[in-house]
Every structure is written in C-alpha cells, then in structure tokens.
Chains A and B, each alone.
Chain A
C-alpha cells in the first residue's frame, strides 16, 4: 500500500505513526508539511533513512520548492511531481493518508 504523510514531524505524530506501520512492499510519499521529514540534518530524516532500507520513499517536489528546501532532501528519497503522485496512487492498490 501507499502511505502519504502531510504533517510536519515536529508538529504532529503522523510521520512516526506512518513509519511504525509501513511494511515491506509498501511505499511512503511525503507531501505538504510532510516534506520536512526528508530534510538533511533533522532527526526525522535519520529515521527515514533507516526505513528506506526496506521501503521506497518519495517526496512531492513542488512542496519542497515552495518551502525553500530545494537541495536539502536527503540522499535516496525520490522526487516526484503531481504526475508521479498520481502514478503512485495508481500503482498501489490502497492508500493510507496519515493526516
């Protein structure tokens, strides 16, 4: 299944809950304020890199750019545009949105 997170990891626990429930075979897509979890030098990104060993992680690029975070996303996270977002939703049979 596809997991989406749209909340900041330092504001809500949606990101931590997502990591605790994302199993092998699923994927994580960070959108809106969820993108702050993918930034270099943050505790959240460290946890994310551990998860990335088993689960692919994507981040919505327009949300990264809007927040002035271009070039700060940690290695291994794949940037997608809105078309890529749609592709991910279509690729996985179900989506869990961690709101």
Chain B
C-alpha cells in the first residue's frame, strides 16, 4: 500500500560551496533546486566558501564556450525560491560585498548558517 505523501512539505537546504565553471557542482545544484521547486517544497539556498562566487554579477562565458547559468539565480524568484543565504565570513574573506552579487541575498554569520543547517529537514550538499 502506498503512503499518501501529498501535501507533505519539508525544509530543503541546498549547500553550495564550489565556484562555478571549474567543476559541475554549481550547475548540478541549480538543476536539483528546480526539481524540488516543482514539488512545492520549502527551499533555501546557502552560499558559503567558494560557493559565493556562483552569484557574481557580470559573468561573461562566451570566451570559454560554456553556458552562463548565472541568470537562473535571478529566475528562482519565479519558482517561489526566495531564501538565498550568503555566509558573511566567506564573502569577507574574498573581498566581496552584496553589491557584487546578481541576486538579492540575506547575509548571515557562520553561526547562523550552522543553525540553518541544523534546522533543515533535508540537506543537499554541492
């Protein structure tokens, strides 16, 4: 007998720690984020360590002949994904500010990030 899971909403957290383009992690994370969104789940995205580089403004990938997927971060709002968190320490270490990002984010401390991770039902690591 199948369990009826319709209407079950879990808190999903996508942890992004890699720079874009050098590896496939950033793009794959986005793909899975969109899948969760299709199932009307409570989705949050976290950017820490090199993951903060994913949302840099002004990415121009013509020269390396790779798809520029950064506009997708701005499109997430249309899928009701509006909780994007950036870890302050990661941003500061790299000399970046929120003005450098292509999308609106909430800046949180390392301790707050740890709390966010702990309070999530499902954590997906990229």
Contact = CB atoms under 8 A, between A and B. Distances in A.
Interface residues of B, number: 27
Contacts of B62: 65
How would you classify the secondary structure of chain B's contact residues: helix, strand, loop or mixed? loop
Interface string B29-60: 00000000000000000000110010011111
Number of contact residues on A: which range applies? 20 to 34
Interface stretch (A2-10, A21-29, A51-59): A2-10
B93 interface: yes
Contacts of B78: none
A93 interface: no
Interface of B: 18-23, 49-50, 53, 56-64, 66, 68, 70, 93-96, 100, 102
* Pairs of residues from A and B, 10 with the lowest C-beta to C-beta distance, nearest first: A41-B95, A62-B63, A33-B22, A68-B56, A68-B59, A68-B58, A66-B61, A65-B60, A66-B64, A62-B64
